[in-house]
Structure 1
Amino acid sequence: MSNTTPHPIHAIVAGLCASLVGIGLARFAYTPLVPALIDAHWFAANEVIYLGAANLVGYLFGAFFGRPLARLFSARRSLQGMMLLVAIAFFACALPVSVLWFFAWRFVSGLAGGVIMVLAAGAVLPYLPGARKGLASGAIFLGLGLGIAASGTLVPLLLDVGLRQTWIGLGVIALLLTAISWSGWPSDAVTAPAPANDSAPRARGLGLVYVQYALMAVGLVPMMIFLVDYVARGLAWGTHSASLLWVVYGLGAIAGPVTYGALADRIGLAASNRLALIGQLLAIMVLALDTRATLLVPAIFIIGSFPPGIVPVTLGRVQQQLAGDPSAQGAAWSRATIIFALFQALAGYAYSYLFASTHGNHVLLFCIGGAAIGLALLSEGLWTAMRGLAPRQAME
């Protein structure tokens, strides 16, 4: 295999394109398509919701199989193939053949997203200068934020042309981004063979990372799913105001990855993680307890920054715990991704059940999400107490 190394900026752009295609568009572009799918009578309302879960299920499988796929084909070829697969899935979804057909392609797009999440950063970051890896990691995961923003801006514009044309347009965009990224992956970015003890965490602080990442997943779900409905119906502000505030959420999602990554470079990963949790907790409290637009707008911006912003910080913490062992880092990041995806999916179903059981009590769901974030913040002290006199560096 050739040992071609692209320019670092091209490598970062490749990572950004991958996260935008595999997660930003493949997952978040579906949300504004839900009403259109129902109104066009492609599927029944309950089937549309069921099809939305297919991407999350596929994402779990992708997180499991990302590293074995990279060992079989190389990370570079796997990432190229997964981006192409998402584009094909978009084109396939332009044809409402059946529920099974649609489920299969939504599952495939989720699987590709899981593989991309596990492999993209590990394929790029080893070839970048260490002093700015937090910022570079944030730039790679900027695609998540761009996808959230596109779900509230680009997709509605495409829908004005037509539902089938929207799916085709998303496929064309995915193909274009795939072409831009194609030669940006380092061709020697093959993950090294895993050591025999690959699955055993070699740092005590890694357990804390997993616990906090799971709690973050539980904490961010209610705002991600129910924010628009809360503004439109809960506050009775209407769909126009709800759409505007979803754009604010999207702007926060764009700012989050790069801001959190740069903050990690400046004050350290552990401190930036704590600061992110504190900011998120305060913003959720404002959302749950206040209805003034002057406070809700900045709170929603901060809330939007969290889901994509915490990804580069958590990745950095995983790599810090296992410094010098890229194979162990890849295995640990894969586990972290699986844990996050699992708890996010379980939380989504649990919140949906609570929402129905409480006749649409948005504030209760926000409070539960805030409690999960609070537990994540408190978990460092609890972790120290549970492990006794743990060395300080294990917690950093």
Structure 2
Amino acid sequence: MSSNRVKLSIFLCLCMCLGIGILRFSYTALLPATREAFGWTGQFASILGSANLLGYLAGAFWAMRIPQTRVMTFYIQAAAFAGTLSLFSCAFAGFSDFWYVCWRVISGMSGGLIMILSPSIVAQCCELKDRFKINFIGFSGIGLGVLLATLFLPYLDHIAVRSAWLILTGFALIISIVLSVLLKGLKPLLSLHAAVQQEKIQLNLLYFSLIAVYGCSAFAYVPHSLFWIDYLTQVLKLDLYWMNFNWILYGLGSALGAFSSYLLARKLGNFAALKILYCAYVCAIVAAVFDVSPFFTFMSSFLTGLLNPAVVFLTSYTILQLYGSAYKKLWSIATLTFAAIQLIGGLSFSALQHWGVSYHQQFTIAAAVLLLGAAQLFWVTRKHAPVVTECSNSSH
């Protein structure tokens, strides 16, 4: 049993590392250097960011329709290698705009498929008592991927941008091969569960409240995920050293995100932990508005890096514990909601930027939206909230 738990933890960790940390975050981290080296305009760089979000939405929708059988392993393998190829294809300059748009869409689709299917496989293959630890270790992979994507930032003035992309491609290829090996051992376990019928779940206000605040976090995250580098360089006029320092802080925060929410949830319960995390998230975004001291910028970089994987992990795990066998479908809906609202947010903030709305005002709007989402979660759980602990599997 211990061996199976280790394999599942490594599997989920590598999936999150590749699907979210590398396939999605690497573009943001390498964008300034790539944009300069490839001669991209700011508008085209924004289009590529939206293309990735569109692909993520399409991948999440596709994953929801895939049957909960061993066929999921094929789609994860295909997504992993397709995502690796997308990194390789973005390493070279001189291709048409359509080329880069297509590969960024494919990268997003790969991330969406992996994000939904991998925790669904783990939910079927692990015992109830092991869920919390496996999911915590697994979702820590998001931070690991972010750290891998930020490793090159201090050295981009010494190495070619192409080399950075190719090194990331190498990481992704190694992860894809290891995932293929691990999936071979998981297929028999999935076959045992393929015939289990999913029970009908009566959704309540609590689930929709979770989805609502999760969607608000997707919208609020957009300014940091798409425009943080521009803000640091164009508004704060930071040089390469301090810009890289902020991104390293972001990466370190991401690496600690799942662990922080794990400790908090074990001590206080999932819903109390989620409320604290979302309140801290609002503060982290608001901190970006105060540019009178570098401390606020550092704090915003570190905390937004930490809190995004923290709320993703804890939301996913809470849905799993509350709704059991319906997890894949309900987590798919949550991920679809996140992807759709993030895409809408990306287009909205791009439009606001085009209309001359300042970054400070955009951060304020983002924080206000997340504050509304957190407020409705407080309201829904104001009398009592389910106590979801490491070994629970019900809403009481």
TM-score (norm 1): 0.86
* Mapped partners of 1:334, 1:41: distance in 2: 36
Q: 1:7 Cα shift?
A: 2.6
CA contact (8 A) 1:232 1:241 kept: no
Report SS of the residue matched to 1:189: helix
Q: Of residues 151, 165, 175 in structure 2, which corresponds to 1:177?
A: 175
* Mapped partners of 1:260, 1:18: distance in 2: 19
Match of 1:213 in 2: 214
Match of 1:121 in 2: 119
Q: 1:126 Cα shift?
A: 4.1
Match of 2:302 in 1: 301
Match of 2:234 in 1: 233
* Mapped partners of 2:299, 2:90: distance in 1: 36
* Mapped partners of 1:350, 1:193: distance in 2: 44
Match of 1:313 in 2: 314
Q: Which letter maps to 1:57?
A: L
Q: Which letter maps to 2:105?
A: F
Match of 1:258 in 2: 259
Q: Which letter maps to 2:49?
A: G
Q: Which letter maps to 2:230?
A: D
Q: Which letter maps to 1:182?
A: S
CA contact (8 A) 2:275 2:377 kept: no
CA contact (8 A) 1:254 1:305 kept: yes
Q: 1:45 Cα shift?
A: 4.5
Q: Which letter maps to 1:271?
A: A
Q: 1:26 Cα shift?
A: 1.1
Q: 1:395 Cα shift?
A: 8.4
Q: Which letter maps to 1:253?
A: S
Q: Tell which deviates more after alignment, 60-69 or 85-94.
A: 85-94
Report SS of the residue matched to 2:224: helix
Report SS of the residue matched to 1:288: coil
How many residues matched? Answer: 384
Report SS of the residue matched to 1:291: coil
- Distance change (3 Å), C-alpha of 1:44 and 1:294: closer
Q: Of residues 138, 141, 146 in structure 2, which corresponds to 1:140?
A: 138
- The residue correspondences of 1:354-393 to structure 2 (distance < 5 A) are 354-358=352-356, 361-383=358-380, 392-393=385-386
Q: Which letter maps to 1:221?
A: V
- Distance change (3 Å), C-alpha of 1:58 and 1:299: closer
Structure 2: unaligned runs, 5 residues or longer: 387-393
Q: 1:363 Cα shift?
A: 1.6
CA contact (8 A) 2:50 2:347 kept: no
* Mapped partners of 1:280, 1:38: distance in 2: 29
Q: Tell which deviates more after alignment, 177-186 or 110-119.
A: 177-186
* Mapped partners of 2:299, 2:141: distance in 1: 22
| CA root-mean-square deviation | 3.0
Report SS of the residue matched to 2:289: helix
Alignment of 1:62 with 2:59, yes or no, is yes
Alignment of 1:18 with 2:19, yes or no, is no
- Distance change (3 Å), C-alpha of 1:226 and 1:50: closer
Q: Which letter maps to 2:351?
A: Y
Q: 1:251 Cα shift?
A: 0.8
Q: Tell which deviates more after alignment, 231-240 or 312-321.
A: 231-240
- Distance change (3 Å), C-alpha of 1:69 and 1:97: farther
Q: Of residues 335, 344, 353 in structure 1, which corresponds to 2:342?
A: 344
TM-score (norm 2): 0.86
- The residue correspondences of 1:27-42 to structure 2 (distance < 5 A) are 27-41=24-38
Q: Which letter maps to 2:332?
A: S
* Mapped partners of 1:350, 1:121: distance in 2: 31
Match of 2:149 in 1: 151
Report SS of the residue matched to 2:109: helix
Match of 1:9 in 2: 6
* Mapped partners of 1:252, 1:158: distance in 2: 21
- Distance change (3 Å), C-alpha of 1:310 and 1:221: same
* Mapped partners of 1:381, 1:41: distance in 2: 47
Structure 1: unaligned runs, 5 residues or longer: none
Q: How big is each residue's C-alpha offset from its partner over 1:240-298, in whole Å with a ceiling of 9 and x where there is no partner? A: 32221121111111110222133223321111101101222233333323632345433
Q: Tell which deviates more after alignment, 207-216 or 313-322.
A: 313-322
CA contact (8 A) 2:25 2:146 kept: yes
- Distance change (3 Å), C-alpha of 1:298 and 1:91: closer
Q: Which letter maps to 2:66?
A: L
Alignment of 1:246 with 2:278, yes or no, is no
CA contact (8 A) 1:14 1:182 kept: no
- Distance change (3 Å), C-alpha of 1:358 and 1:94: closer
Q: Which letter maps to 2:114?
A: I
Match of 1:331 in 2: 329
CA contact (8 A) 2:287 2:299 kept: no
